Amino acid sequence: MKIKSATFHRSAAAIDACPAWDWREFAFVGRSNVGKSSMINKLCGKDHLAKVSALPGKTRLLNFFVMNEAWSLVDLPGYGFAQVTKHQKYDFSVLIKDYLEQRQNLAAVFVLVDSRLPPQRIDVDFVNWLAGCRVPYVLVFTKADKLAPGKVQANISLFQEAVVREQAQPLEVIVSSSKTGSGRIGILKAIERSLQPH
Ligand code: GTP
Ligand code: MG
């Protein structure tokens, strides 16, 4: 599948401020700084569509992008970012939770996990929580350009073990890098599959 057009539509600070369309949506979620916004830019081939920063906590709202005038990518704020006030942090998690639990046209979620790290409790807990929602999800292990492939695979295996201990369903996994573009095709294929009428 080709992305022929990609435009920013709007940001939303609450579930009732989300666009009213019924286009299928694909959400990018994960810890602050894991590379959600960078991956959205890579998928679209546009460097500055979603705002990227070396400092965690850049994306603070739900950001809606329209693809091919037919479906949507949503850049979510990161979870687990401590450098904000308690009140802000609470708001962020409610925003993520409300969106993932309530958005009717949400087709699939890409959960981004830093491939350089052994399983982090917050990511394992998040995936286990998400498994209780009705929406399908795919794990995307980011920043693979920064580590030897064997080490990436070792961290993925550890993560799968940590999650599978708590849930039975098999996990679809994609290894990615926004620097090299690896994983881009896998993500687009997962979206294409989901967009096909079943
Ligand atoms: P928040 O909006 O703060 O939650 O962060 P985010 O998940 O959107 O991360 P973002 O895309 O802003 O990237 C964070 C930092 O990681 C930036 O400095 C990016 O350039 C860098 N980065 C993202 N993806 C990759 C990658 O695949 N490889 C490398 N080497 N760096 C990356
Ligand atoms: Mg971001």
Report pLDDT digits (tens) over 40-76: 999 999 999 999 988 877 778 999 999 999 999 999 9
Ligand index nearest the alpha carbon of residue 35: 1
Output the CA 26–ligand 2 centroid distance in Å. Answer: 15
Q: Is 84 in the pocket of ligand 1 (CB under 6 A)?
A: no
Sign of CA dihedral 88, 93, 94, 98: positive
pLDDT of residue 56: 74
The answer to whether residues 175 and 152 touch, using CB atoms and an 8 Å cutoff, is yes
Span 68-94, average pLDDT? 74
Whole-angstrom Cα distance, residue 78 to residue 64?
Answer: 15
Here the tokens at position 41 are: 């830019």
The answer for 196, left when phi > 0, alpha when psi is -120 to 50, beta otherwise, is beta
Which amino acid, one-letter code, is at 69?
E
**For residue 85, what pLDDT band results from cuts at 50, 70 and 90?**
low
Q: Is 41 in the pocket of ligand 1 (CB under 6 A)?
A: no
Whole-angstrom Cα distance, residue 134 to residue 110?
Answer: 14
Burial class (CB in 10 A: 0-12, 13-18, 19+), 20: exposed
Q: Report domain extents, the chain.
A: 6-195
The answer to whether residues 124 and 154 touch, using CB atoms and an 8 Å cutoff, is no
Span 86-96, average pLDDT? 63
Q: Tokens 């950001």 map to which residue? A: 63
pTM summary value: 0.93
Q: What percent of the chain has pLDDT over 70?
A: 92
Q: Is 142 in the pocket of ligand 1 (CB under 6 A)?
A: yes
Angle made by CA atoms 147, 33, 36, in degrees to the nearest 5:
90
Coil vs helix vs strand at 15: helix
Whole-angstrom Cα distance, residue 174 to residue 152?
Answer: 11
**For residue 25, what pLDDT band results from cuts at 50, 70 and 90?**
very high
Here the tokens at position 39 are: 């991956």
Report pLDDT digits (tens) over 107-131: 999 999 999 999 998 899 899 889 8
90/120: higher pLDDT = 120
CATH class of residue range 6-195: alpha beta
The answer to whether residues 106 and 135 touch, using CB atoms and an 8 Å cutoff, is yes
Output the CA 37–ligand 1 centroid distance in Å. Answer: 7
Torsion angle (degrees, nearest 10) of CA 130, 69, 9, 75: 30
Span 16-39, average pLDDT? 96
Whole-angstrom Cα distance, residue 47 to residue 40?
Answer: 9
Q: Is 33 in the pocket of ligand 1 (CB under 6 A)?
A: yes
pLDDT of residue 168: 66
Residue 17: count of CB within 10 angstroms of its CB: 11
Q: Whose CA is nearest to atom 28 of ligand 1?
A: 143
